[in-house]
Structure 1
Amino acid sequence: MARRRSAELSVFRRLAVSSLALLCVLLSFSAGHSRSLPREALVAAVFDGDTILLDSGDKVRYLGIDAPEPAHDGEPADCYAREAEAANAAMVLHRRVTLEYDREKRDRFGRLLAYVFTMDGRCVNAELLGSGHARVFTTLPRHRLAERFLSRQRDAMAEGRGMWGACPVRQESYYILNRRSLVFHRPSCELGRNTSARNRLRLETRREALERGFRPCRVCKP
């Protein structure tokens, strides 16, 4: 009986130690995860119109917007890419910013997804949309500033600011939209033609697609 009680006590102690070790690991992970979401930082570098590097070493992708792509991997730069990068740098490079987060904290590349604010309270994401240096990038479920961002884009489009007045686009007779991905395509785009009937929507103008919050396909670039 004594040996059995001793064995039971030994098992209990091992379980207690294991549980304590697991708790420590979880607490350590939680603390590390919290530290990985900076709330204020200095911008050390600007990569393009929607991506920056913080002095903490974190790369940040502006949430809810998409700026024209610079040249990379043998592909030429999109129209207005240089201007978008310059506009972004003018607001944040070598300056302190604050960051706020939404439902998704990181993208598939490990970059932080954030709303970035200047120290005087301007939302850089929204400013770039309003000046025509970026377009909305909406996913489902929509982020909390989606309607505010779309309103800024509509204003920029209506007044022909930035890319909306500077970048010519070959128009199509109609466009194929995907209700699930919120991407729209040219009629000739294979990705658009492969959209399921359930998610497929057709609109006659590019402008209407953009005003409703859809974003251009990065392959066919409508």
Structure 2
Amino acid sequence: MKTVFDLLLSKARTPAGVAVLSIATLSALVIVFRPREEITKQSDPEERLFVKVKRAVSGQKIKLDNDQDEYLIYAGIRAPVGGEPFDEEATRRNGELVGDQQKVRLRFDEEHRDADGRLLAYVFVEDDFVNETLVREGLAYVRSTTSSHRFAERLLSAQKEARSARRGIWSRRPGGTERSYAGDPHHGNFHRRTCEELPKIPADRLVEFPSDQAALEKGFAPCAKCKP
């Protein structure tokens, strides 16, 4: 069976045929050597997903202005909640970053929704990475999970900077006093051994840390209940 190139070669004996062959060859080269990044970007719908923000609900949650009025949780981080230090500051700063009625761009990890069905994403306002900004300013912990780890290295670098400068939550966080801590990679939290949440986690899923610092450096965030 003759290929397209076989047919073109058979016609290349005339000047017109040579011209046709040259054009076809150049077209093929353009396709073959098209940048891989461009192909990936164009075939990846998440890179072009924009949503409109209605308001910031907390330091890690926003309400979207869409038909479902749904909530979106920031992937890869945990901001202070429930009266924890810098809870209000994180909420206020998040509102400044995303604004009301502003369009933001979303990028996803392995899971697009959390256990409660809420959207789970990394949020960008133009070139500004909102999740990273909150971490760098000491208004959120890194919380890398088995399904939210796409920007773990970048977020951990921002957290290291915030800790060194003692910004926000790091200005008040005391060193841990427990002999060891238990981490849950599925949810990205670490706990005191006496935490009421531990019995709910399968024992074979737990990871042991000799200190809270070791857990933080691996991208685990302190449990909001036992506050290790």
TM-score (norm 2): 0.69
- Kindly report which structure 2 residues correspond to 1:176-195, keeping only aligned pairs within 5 A, or say none: 176-178=181-183, 180-181=185-186, 182-192=188-198
In structure 1, the partner of 2:11 is none
Deviation track 1:115-139 (CA, whole Å, cap 9, x = no partner) reads 11012x1110111011111011111
| Structure 1 residues 179 and 88: alpha-carbon distance in aligned structure 2, compared to 1, 3 A threshold | closer
In structure 2, the partner of 1:44 is 54
Q: Quick check: 1:114 aligned with 2:117?
A: no
1:53 aligned counterpart, secondary structure: strand
Q: Which one-letter code corresponds to 1:135 in the other structure?
A: Y
Q: Quick check: 1:66 aligned with 2:49?
A: no
| Structure 1 residues 198 and 101: alpha-carbon distance in aligned structure 2, compared to 1, 3 A threshold | closer
Deviation track 1:85-109 (CA, whole Å, cap 9, x = no partner) reads 0110011122221111121011122
In structure 2, the partner of 1:78 is 84
For the residues of structure 2 that align with 1:112 and 1:68, how far apart are their CA atoms? 19
Q: Quick check: 1:148 aligned with 2:171?
A: no
2:167 aligned counterpart, secondary structure: coil
Shift of 1:142: 4.9
For the residues of structure 1 that align with 2:148 and 2:53, how far apart are their CA atoms? 27
Percent identical residues: 35
133-142 vs 154-163, which moves further: 133-142
Shift of 1:180: 4.0
5+ residue gaps, structure 1, are: 1-34, 71-76
2:59 aligned counterpart, secondary structure: coil
Deviation track 1:131-189 (CA, whole Å, cap 9, x = no partner) reads 11101111115521111111111111111011111x34473142322364443222433
Which of 217, 220, 223 is residue 214 of structure 1 equivalent to? 220
For the residues of structure 2 that align with 1:41 and 1:198, how far apart are their CA atoms? 35
Q: Which one-letter code corresponds to 2:74 in the other structure?
A: Y
Which of 156, 171, 177 is residue 176 of structure 2 equivalent to? 171
In structure 2, the partner of 1:134 is 140
Q: Which one-letter code corresponds to 1:65 in the other structure?
A: I
Q: Which one-letter code corresponds to 1:45 in the other structure?
A: R
5+ residue gaps, structure 2, are: 1-44
For the residues of structure 2 that align with 1:124 and 1:83, how far apart are their CA atoms? 15
1:133 aligned counterpart, secondary structure: coil
Shift of 1:52: 0.4
For the residues of structure 1 that align with 2:190 and 2:204, how far apart are their CA atoms? 14
User: What RMSD over aligned residues (CA atoms) do the two structures have, in Å?
Assistant: 2.6
Shift of 1:219: 2.5
TM-score (norm 1): 0.71
Q: Quick check: 1:160 aligned with 2:166?
A: yes
CA contact (8 A) 2:109 2:150 kept: yes
Q: Which one-letter code corresponds to 1:177 in the other structure?
A: A
For the residues of structure 2 that align with 1:180 and 1:162, how far apart are their CA atoms? 25
For the residues of structure 2 that align with 1:65 and 1:168, how far apart are their CA atoms? 17
2:149 aligned counterpart, secondary structure: coil
